[in-house]
Structure formats: C-alpha cells, structure tokens
Amino acid sequence: SDKAAYENFKKSINQFLTKLQEISPETQVIFIWAEPEIEKWFCIDIANCFPHNKPCGDKDFHRKLAEFLEKYRYEYDTNRDTCKEKFSDKFASILQECKVLNEYNKRNDGSLYLVKVDPSVIEKKDKFAAEGIKQLKNLKCGGRNGKSILR
C-alpha cells in the first residue's frame, strides 16, 4: 500500500540519519521532500513559475494546472514498482497541450522553474516540504547574526 511504502521510506531515511550522525555528528542534514515530484511545486507556485496565463481548450492554463494538482492522487503499481501515473508526465502533457513548452525536460526545464519558486509559498501550501523549508530559513550565512539563506 501507499502508506506502507511511505513508512518504509521514512524508516530508511531515519536509518540514514542515524548512521550519518555516528559517522559525522557535526553534519547538519535538512530533507525537503517534494511529494510526489518537484513539478508539484511549479503548480503550487504558478504565479512565479508561469506568470502569463493563456487559454487552453475549454479552460485557461492556470485553471488546468490547478485542477490537475487538486485531483492528482499518487497510486503505486506493485507490478512495475513505480507509480501508475507519474506527476511529471501529466504535468508535461498539460504544458504541451496548452502550448507552454513543446517538450518538457525534467533535468533542463525543471531547474529553470525551480529557481522561480518562492519557498514561502511552498511552505504554506505543501505539508511535506514545510518543515525542511523552516529549517532552511533558520540557517544563517556568516553565523548566528547573518542573513537567512532563503529570500
């Protein structure tokens, strides 16, 4: 089940952190989990990632992405050991359908959109990422009195 897979994932992360603390106790680790995939953040922060809305079929592009984000449910396919429908694949098909991009490349395009994301928007709207973002906000450049590393 999805819950069992999540619990196994959490267990493996905790085992990793325990081992890391044994090896290098001074190392600080912050996990920010983009569930199910990083493209979710682009949909959440649509105003920064895609500031120009446009018509797309019977809806506009922003509405199509918002509805997709709202309706998407992660389902695990045990036979293939992966999700039934990848979030990023559906996201890419909406970008193509609405003529935002001819082709979405996660490695190239994903990094371009990621720098546009406002962490405070994600912190408010994504429970999986919120704690990691709070931890990042507390990190200071130049010591205790320095500025936060996030904008």
pLDDT of residue 30: 73
d(CA 91, CA 69): 9
Q: Per-residue pLDDT for 43 more than 90? A: yes
Tell me the H-state helices in 1-138. 2-23, 39-44, 46-49, 61-71, 87-97, 106-114, 119-125, 127-138
Sequence letter at residue 34 = A
pLDDT of residue 143: 57
Structure-derived torsion over alpha carbons of residues 93, 99, 104, 108, reported in degrees to the nearest 10: -160
For residue 112, give the nearest of 95, 134, 125 by alpha carbon. 95
Burial of 76 (0-12, 13-18, 19+ CB in 10 A): middle
Q: Per-residue pLDDT for 28 more than 90? A: no
Measured CA distances, 71 to 22, 66, 78, 113 (Å): 42, 9, 22, 22
Rounded to 5 degrees, what are φ and ψ at 49?
-80, -35
Structure-model confidence comparison of residues 131 and 29, the more confident one? 131
Q: Per-residue pLDDT for 149 more than 70? A: no
Q: 60 pLDDT band (50/70/90 cuts)? A: very high
Q: 135 pLDDT band (50/70/90 cuts)? A: confident
Name the region of 57 (left: φ>0; alpha: ψ -120 to 50; beta: rest): left
Secondary structure class of 85 (helix, strand, coil): coil
pLDDT tens, position by position, 64-90: 999 999 998 877 778 877 778 889 999
pLDDT tens, position by position, 88-130: 999 999 999 999 999 999 889 999 999 999 989 999 998 888 8
pLDDT of residue 144: 60
